[in-house]
Structure formats: structure tokens, C-alpha cells
Structure 1
């Protein structure tokens, strides 16, 4: 069959930036106004003048020392075995649960084979590599926080977190290596090390995280786009989306690279401490891709017929304001803990996109 002669339905699936407007039925101007109102609320109600008499020192073991009341959430100043075992046990439990979940999500439908490696650098427009770096960064950050809470000294916690992050990510690579569907990837390991090093180097140099890695996903609906084979048989883009990216929210969040954006979010106040820039305001650069429905190309088989989705793949670069959630001033330790957990999420806000040689703006981007 000559796939190149296939005809294709011209309707395209909802884009990452259009989903919010369509889903919520909001006018673009209203969407942007909504985001700006949220930014204003954080600025006014979360300002140091309202919440604390002194600014937090984010390089300290306890940034809320002298601001928040002491309780069990306060990091210990000396090594606390009970806290260490609690942190390690919690991490081990999450590690086990995540490993089982990942196996069922990614590997259960594929046969097992001997350990092997392969070069997957050209796949998925490198969105998977960006995801590996992001995940390793966040593993490093969370492990470090738990170890510091248990009273471990900063250098030991820093390098232990680096090891934990790469152990967790290395588990995925071993699963890949024994799966018929994949193989052990050295480029994935390189992305893992890069993400964990971003955390480690910043902590070693600045004793704080001035540059975060974040993720966003517009959770767009499964597309209903007819596609026709060379002999006129009808398929649907939604079939390959469900087959390769899954149907539930968890799978789609992990796998759908079209809906996903990986961000590097920098805190200007940390670099220019004398400026009047709000301590919680970040500037983020994002990387995404569109029309990516296969590792190398948008082809698949459906009901014995071979289909190809015609629109060309393309990369996207974004520039957008962001919020450093854990730097929103607060007097409550549990609030800061919650905000710290949310630091992996890019705040929905206006964005400037560069793709296909053009610049375009979005009132709001999830």
C-alpha cells in the first residue's frame, strides 16, 4: 500500500491553547482577565506586609523560622532517626506504588525479553527526554526536602537526593530494558542526570532553587478526526490517541505529549534581591510539540488498515509568567508544605508562543 497517496480529513484536533477557551466557554479576553485577577490576588493578599513581619530566608533549613509557629513540620536541626525512617519509609512506599502503577500503565501489555539497549533520541520530538529531566528534578527536590526535615546536613541531603532521583528513574530504564516494546536508553539516563543535576548544582551554589522545572497539561478531549487510508477506508485519530496515550486522566497526563508542556521557571527576585519584583513571581520558558502521535511518524494500523495523519509535526516554545507557589508568604507551615508540593505545576497564565516560524499570543495557557 502506498501510504503517501492516502487522503486525509482536514479537521485538526483542539490545540493545547484552545482547549481552555472551548471547554470553559470563555471569551479570550475574559480568560486573560481571569488569570490577571488571580495574579493580583496573590500579590495583594499574599504580600509580606500582610502575612509576616520579616521576609523568609529561602536558603535556610527553615525558611519560616521566626515567622511560623513551631510544630512537627519544622525541620529538625539535628539528625532525627524517627523522622529519617518516616521519610525513607514514605518514599519507599511511594516508590513501590509508583513502580506498580507504571508497570501496569506502560509495560503490562508488552512481552518481556533480555536486557537490551536502543537509541530512542529521535523519538517523540524529544518530549519524553524533557519529561525525564523534569521528573528527576522533582524527585531530587522532594527527597531533599524530606531529608532536611529529618535533620540531615545539607551536603549529605543534597547528594543523597541526587542518588534517590536517579535510582527511581533508573528503575524505569531497567523496566524499559526488559520490555519488548522498548529498551534501556542512554539518552533517557542522560536526561535523568541532567534534571537531578539542575537541582544539585543550584543547591550547592546558591543553597536555594532559583530555577524550577514544571509541567502543564491542557487535558484536551480525545479527538474525533476521521482519517482515510489509500484505498478509502475510514479510521479515526481518536483510535491512535486512546491506543498510545490511554483513556484515563493519569495515562493521558503522562503520555500525551501534544497536551503536555515542560517548563523551566526562573525567579527574578532571587537573582535581583534589591528589586521590587514580588518574591513569588517567576518567568517561565516552555517546550512542547503538536501533531505527535507516534515515536517517529503519525502512522498506525486500525481494523487491518494502515493510516497516516497528514499534518506536519512541529515544536513549540513558550514564554509566560508563573508563580513560585512555595514562596507565597505565609505564617502556616502546612500551607507552605502544600504550596511546595504544587511547585511542579505551571500556573495557568498568558503566554507567547513561537512555532512554525511565527509568534502568536494566548490569553491563557494551561
Structure 2
């Protein structure tokens, strides 16, 4: 899937949404004089991302959706130990947060920025699901849409209620032994494997401790505790196909889930005087810090039990 690309494209649809949002009875900024919109930033964000978004969608249609079919549904809820669904949730969260921060940077007020970021994320994700619904080998997935809504709700709910992201979502990756067995499905290069090999992906819920629990003034506000999820042993969606090695001997991988706990650092909260009023650079650092920083972790899975990893997760 194209999760990392999606994050960079979300603001293109702003022109289509900006006028309807202005008509709603929200305290939304519509002109520089009314609420401080920075016209130069606003136009720059819209125009720049619009061009990038349009070109990328055209490329995706050419590379990922070559053969068009009548619209159809596809139930993939049991595939890949639900790693794909967690990935959709993380993507929608990241897109919602990115759209919100771009709007705030442009001078749009808080409430309108939250709504715009969430709506843009859902609209973009829904567009891709419709593409899937017309694609050979794919289909419109209700499970994907539920995950998209969940990720958007995670961002919007926290921003409306707490004014900050106490819990964020992050992504991790490690190379695994599985892609050589099915390179067309799991990826031939490292870049492809980061998007296709679910065995190598981890998704983390990152909780900022100082925002979640009562702590003293000297407690580091940048310290997070992450809970991660991954899957391993997967060379097929629902089940692994029969495989043999070079000598013709059967190869069987056991599919299992992995659960992790690890400390983390929120770089945007270092030297942050007020979490409800972050500086502009802190906003964007928090948004683009989508990758989990390497740190010691504790893992549990049903095959290998409890394991401690000093820094990086080992190659499976």
C-alpha cells in the first residue's frame, strides 16, 4: 500500500472543501483580516500540494490500477493477521494530523483545522477505496473504511477534547527473510518491502506519559511509552502457499502475532513550554515523526514467548 505517499498529498482537496466550510456556522477564518489567515502560506499550501496530489494519483492509476472492472466489494478482514487494517488506521491518523497542522500553520482556526484535516483524510482514503473497487484483484473493503474512520477519529477526538495528541500512531520497519520466497507479493527492494512486507512492519500506539498521568514538574515531557503490534511468518494473505527450498524440501512458516512495549521520544515536546500552544517547528516535527525511534523493547508472541531486544528488532 502507499501509506507514506498518501500523507504528502492530503491538502489538494482544500479548494473543494474551503467554500462549504466557510458557509457553516463555525468560527472559521476565511480572510486574513477576519481571523489571521496567512494568505501567502494558505495559497502556497493549496497550490503546491494540489499539483503533487494530482500527479501522484495519475501515477497510481497507471501503476496500481491498470485494469478497470465494474465496481465490486472485497472482504479482506482476515488477511495478513489484520496488519493491513492497522496500517489503514495509522495512515488516516497521520493524514488527519498533517492536514490539521498545515491549516493551523496557514492561520485557519483550531476547530476548522480539525474538521478540515479529518475530512480531507477521509475523502482521500475513500477515493483510493473507490479505485480499489474498480481494480482487478482488489475491491472496495468495508474493513478498510472502518479502519480509516478509526484513525481519523483518534486524531479528531483527542484534538477536540484535549487540544493535543496524547496518543499518536507510529510506524516501524525491519527487513525479514520472507520477501525472497514471494518477491512479487512482498517486494523485491527495501523500498517495496517497506510498503508490501507486513512481516517487517510494526505499528505503535505512542502515549505521552506527562500528558496521560500525573507527574512532577521535573518529569521529562518528551518521554513516551509505546505499545506495538506486528505479524510474522506470512507469505500469503489468508494462508501460506506450499513452498519448497532448492533441494525440493517443503518449507512451512508458522504465522503468529507479535506484541511489543518500548520507550520512545517525542521530539516535538523537547523544550516545549506549553503542549497546547506548540511552536510552528514543533507542530511539524510532531507530525512528520511517524517513524518509531529505535529503543529497547520487550516482545511477546505465542511461538517464541517473551523476548528482550536491546535496540533494534531482530530480523525474523
Whether TM-score is above 0.5 comes out as yes
Q: Structure 1 residues 167, 272: CA separation in 2 closer, same or farther (over 3 Å shift)?
A: same
1:298 and 1:308 in contact (8 A); partners too: no
Gapped regions of structure 1 (runs ≥ 5): 1-75, 224-236
Give CA deviations for 1:231-272 in whole Å, capped at 9, x if unaligned.
Answer: xxxxxx6141x1102223332111110000010000011123
Matched, 1:344 2:285: no
Q: How does 1:81-96 map to 2 (within 5 A)?
A: 81-96=39-54
Find the partner of 1:264 among 205, 216, 219.
205
Query: 2:267 & 2:80 partners in 1: Cα distance?
Result: 30
Aligned to 1:107: 65
Aligned to 1:201: 157
Give CA deviations for 1:32-84 in whole Å, capped at 9, x if unaligned.
Answer: xxxxxxxxxxxxxxxxxxxxxxxxxxxxxxxxxxxxxxxxxxxx961233322
Query: 1:307 & 1:107 partners in 2: Cα distance?
Result: 37
Aligned to 2:310: 363
Greater CA deviation, 171-180 or 184-193? 171-180
Gapped regions of structure 2 (runs ≥ 5): 1-33
Query: 2:118 & 2:171 partners in 1: Cα distance?
Result: 20
2:68 and 2:134 in contact (8 A); partners too: yes
Shift of 1:327: 1.3
Aligned to 1:294: 236
Aligned to 1:143: 99
TM value normalised by structure 1: 0.68
Please state whether the residue corresponding to 1:347 is helix, strand or coil.
coil
* Larger Rg computed on CA atoms: 1
Query: 1:218 & 1:102 partners in 2: Cα distance?
Result: 25
Query: 1:321 & 1:283 partners in 2: Cα distance?
Result: 5
1:298 and 1:309 in contact (8 A); partners too: no
With CA pairs under 8 Å and 6+ residues apart, which has the higher RCO, 1 or 2? Answer: 1
Q: How does 1:167-246 map to 2 (within 5 A)?
A: 167-220=123-176, 238-240=180-182, 242-246=183-187
Matched, 1:131 2:78: no
Matched, 1:323 2:270: no
1:95 and 1:168 in contact (8 A); partners too: no
Q: How does 1:6-45 map to 2 (within 5 A)?
A: none
Give CA deviations for 1:326-363 in whole Å, capped at 9, x if unaligned.
Answer: 11227996853663343211110111111016211111
Greater CA deviation, 244-253 or 191-200? 244-253
Q: Structure 1 residues 308, 315: CA separation in 2 closer, same or farther (over 3 Å shift)?
A: farther
Shift of 1:103: 4.1
Please state whether the residue corresponding to 1:365 is helix, strand or coil.
coil
TM value normalised by structure 2: 0.78
Aligned to 1:280: 222
Shift of 1:163: 0.6
2:101 and 2:283 in contact (8 A); partners too: no
2:168 and 2:205 in contact (8 A); partners too: yes
Aligned length: 271
Give CA deviations for 1:278-316 in whole Å, capped at 9, x if unaligned.
Answer: 1111000001000111111111689xxx99741210000
